[in-house]
Amino acid sequence: MVIGQGDATRAEAFRREMSLPFPVYGDPEREAYRAYGLVEGSAGQLAGGGVLVGAARALLSGSLPGAYTGGGRQLPGAFVIDRDGVVQFSHPAKHAADSPSATALLAAAGSFPAPSPAG
């Protein structure tokens, strides 16, 4: 599951655009962000050198920014949570362009034990 700042309509559009095989939810009030300790960024965290380098890398790799939604100062984060609700991977962003690699997220997700057969 993915939780973003947009509303339900934007969340579903994102899921379709990315062809994601799992649910995407909107959290325009950013309750999940607060619950996981994600904070609003300072000017340096939103537009400092790390952000500019990250943005340049994304643009050079062909990634274009998506539609603006949510809180303009909200720093992102990525968490992988297993079926028992245990956080297996946590990456609160240090600045606006600080995101874990897809490889790191998939590796964390792949570390879950297989579900036990119903019985």
Cα dihedral sign, 91-109-84-71: positive
CA nearest neighbour of 82 among 111, 47, 46: 111
Model's pTM, two decimal places? Answer: 0.68
pLDDT, greater one: 55 or 9: 9
Q: What share of the chain in percent tops pLDDT 70?
A: 85
Q: What is the pLDDT of residues 19-28, one digit of tens each?
A: 888 888 889 8
pLDDT, greater one: 49 or 11: 11
Per CATH, the number for 2-41+68-110 is 3.40.30.10
Answer whether residue 117 shows pLDDT above 60.
no
Each domain of the chain, given as residue ranges in start order, spans 2-41+68-110
Angle of CA points 46, 25, 60, to nearest 5°: 40
A 10 A CB-CB count for 3 gives 18
A 10 A CB-CB count for 82 gives 14
Q: What is the pLDDT of residues 32-56, one digit of tens each?
A: 989 999 998 888 888 877 777 777 7
